[in-house]
Amino acid sequence: MVVVRVQRPRVSRHTPAAKVWAWSVKVLPFLLVLLVVVAMCVIAITRAPALQKRNSKSNNIHAAKLKPNPGSSVPNNDFQFERLLNSKPPSVNSFVAELKNEATGYCVDKLSEFHRNLEKARVISEGLEPCQPKLWCPKIPPVLYGIEQLDSAAINMSEEEIVDAVGTMGFGGSWAPEDCKARHSVCIIIPYRDRKDHLWTLLYRLIPVLKRQQLDFKIFVVEQVSNVTFNKGAIMNAAFLTVYRSYGLRGDNDWDRGLYGCYVFHDVDMLPEDDRNMYSCPEYPRHLSVAVNEFKYQLPYHQLVGGVFSIRPEHFFLVNGYSNLFWGWGGEDDDMGYRLEQVGLPITRPPEHLGRYTMVKHVKRKPLAHAVRLKLVYTSQKRFRSDGLNTLKYEVFRIDTEKLYTRILVDVGDMPDYVRSFEVKRTNAASPFKRKWT
C-alpha cells in the first residue's frame, strides 16, 4: 500500500499587504488620540475671543456692584480709617459738657414751672397732713427667690395676661417701691427688632425680678426705623442720649428724681435665672450675663460684655459710648470691651452661679462681614474717641408710652458704601459653595 502525502502550498505572512495591515492596527489608536487633541486645540483657539469678551462683561458687572456712590471717597479694596480720623469730630469732653448742659436745662425748666405753681401748691398742701419722709430700702432686698429653671422657648401668653402678671407699673414702664426709697435708679435699654414674642417673654421675666430687688427703674425699648441694616451700637447710643437729655423722660410728677445712676443695656433674648444677680448700680462697669446656657454656662472670653451690661453714665462718657460702625449683628460688644480696657476701667462680674441666663431660642441673624468686624475691633484704640456719642447722627421719629415700656423709634441712617462693598464680596464668594450665614 502506497501512502501519498499531499503537501499544501505555504502562504507567507510577510507579504506586503499583511505588513501594511499589521502596521495600521498598531498606529491607528495613536492617530485617533492625535486627532482628538488637534480638534480640542482648534475649538479652544476659535472660542477664546468669545470667552474673553464674556468674562470681561461679567467682571464689569461685578465691578459696578462694588463701585461706591460718587459722594464716597472710601476705597473698596480695604477698610481704612483715614477719613474718619481726619474728620476732626468734637472732643468727647466738650460734647459731654454740652450734653450735661442740655440735661441741666431740662431740670431748670421743670424747676421754673414748679416755682410758678408754688403758690398754688402751697395752698393745696395746707389742707393736707404733712408727709413722713421715706426710709431707705434695705441694702439686701428681703424677698428674693434665688435660682429658677427657665424654658428657652418664648412664652405662650397674650399681652393682657403678661400685663396682669407683672403687676402695677407706672408711666411708660417705670416703677419704684412705695414703702421705701430705692437705693438705685436704673435705666433699662433694650435694642429691639422684629422679636415681639421675645420682648414680652423678657418683660414677663425681668419686671418681677427688678421689683423684688426694690429698684427705681424704667424700661426703654429702642427700635430702628424702617428695614435698613441693623446697627445695635448706634441705636443704643441714640437711646442713651435721648434718655439723658430729658432726665429719663420722666413724668410731670417724678422729674425731681433726677438722672439715672446707671444704664443697663439688655439683649431681648436674655432671661435672668437668678434674682440675686443685682441690677443695681455698681462702682465699675459690670457684665451681668456671665453664664449663658448657649455657652454651657461658661464665659467664652474675658473681653465679653455682650448680653446684659451695666455702666454708670460717667463711665459711658469716658469710653464715648458704643461704636456706630458695626452694621449687622455682632462686634459692637467686643469693641466696648476694648474701649473699657483702653481707658483703664475694669470689667466686674457676679459669680457664675448667680450670673446665669437662659437665651430664648431664635434664628440667628446675618452677622457683619468678618473682614470689617475684625478691622474695627483691632482698631478700637485708634478710633474710639472719633466714633461714638460725639459723632452719632440720629433722629428721633417717635416716642410711644406703652403699658410696660417706653418705645423710642430712631433713625441712624443706612449702611455705608464701604461696608456694603464687603457684603457684596461675601455674597459672591459664598454663592458657589452655597454657604449659609446664620
Each residue's pLDDT tens digit, 214-231: 999 999 999 999 777 889
Each residue's pLDDT tens digit, 371-416: 666 777 778 878 888 889 999 999 999 999 999 999 999 999 887 7
Phi, psi of 57 (to 5 degrees): -65, -40
Domain 154-433 CATH (choose: 3.40.50.740, 3.30.479.30, 3.40.50.720, 3.90.550.10): 3.90.550.10
Q: Are 265 and 327 in contact (CB under 8 A)?
A: no
Tell me the C-alpha to C-alpha distance, in Å, between residue 221 and each of 143, 250, 357: 27, 15, 20
Q: Residue ranges per domain, the chain?
A: 154-433
- Which comes out higher in pLDDT, residue 382 or 15? 382
Residue 291 has pLDDT above 80, yes or no: yes
Each residue's pLDDT tens digit, 240-254: 999 998 877 776 666
pLDDT of residue 101: 81
Q: Are 69 and 215 in contact (CB under 8 A)?
A: no
Grid cell for residue 394: 440720629
Quote the radius of gyration of the chain (alpha carbons, Å): 36
State the average pLDDT over residues 323-332.
85
Give the confidence band of 60 by pLDDT, cuts at 50, 70, 90.
very low
Q: Are 172 and 218 in contact (CB under 8 A)?
A: yes
d(CA 91, CA 78): 27
Q: Are 159 and 188 in contact (CB under 8 A)?
A: no
Q: Where are the beta strands (DSSP E) in 340-437?
A: 356-359, 395-401, 406-411
- Count the neighbouring beta carbons within 10 Å of the beta carbon of residue 212: 15
pLDDT of residue 20: 65
- Tell me, yes or no, if the pTM score tops 0.75: no
- Which comes out higher in pLDDT, residue 83 or 127? 83
User: Which has the closest alpha carbon to 229: 327, 323, 372?
Assistant: 327
Close Cβ partners of 242 (under 8 Å, ≥ 6 residues apart): 249, 396, 399, 408, 410
Lowest mean pLDDT among 3-17, 51-65, 97-111, 216-230: 51-65
Phi, psi of 277 (to 5 degrees): -80, 95
Grid cell for residue 54: 464674556
Each residue's pLDDT tens digit, 117-143: 666 555 545 444 445 567 899 999 999
Share of the chain above pLDDT 90, in %: 42
State the average pLDDT over residues 161-176.
92
Q: What's the whole-number average pLDDT of the chain?
A: 79
Q: Are 303 and 234 in contact (CB under 8 A)?
A: no
Chain position carrying cell 475694669: 346
Give the confidence band of 356 by pLDDT, cuts at 50, 70, 90.
very high
Residue 315 has pLDDT above 80, yes or no: yes
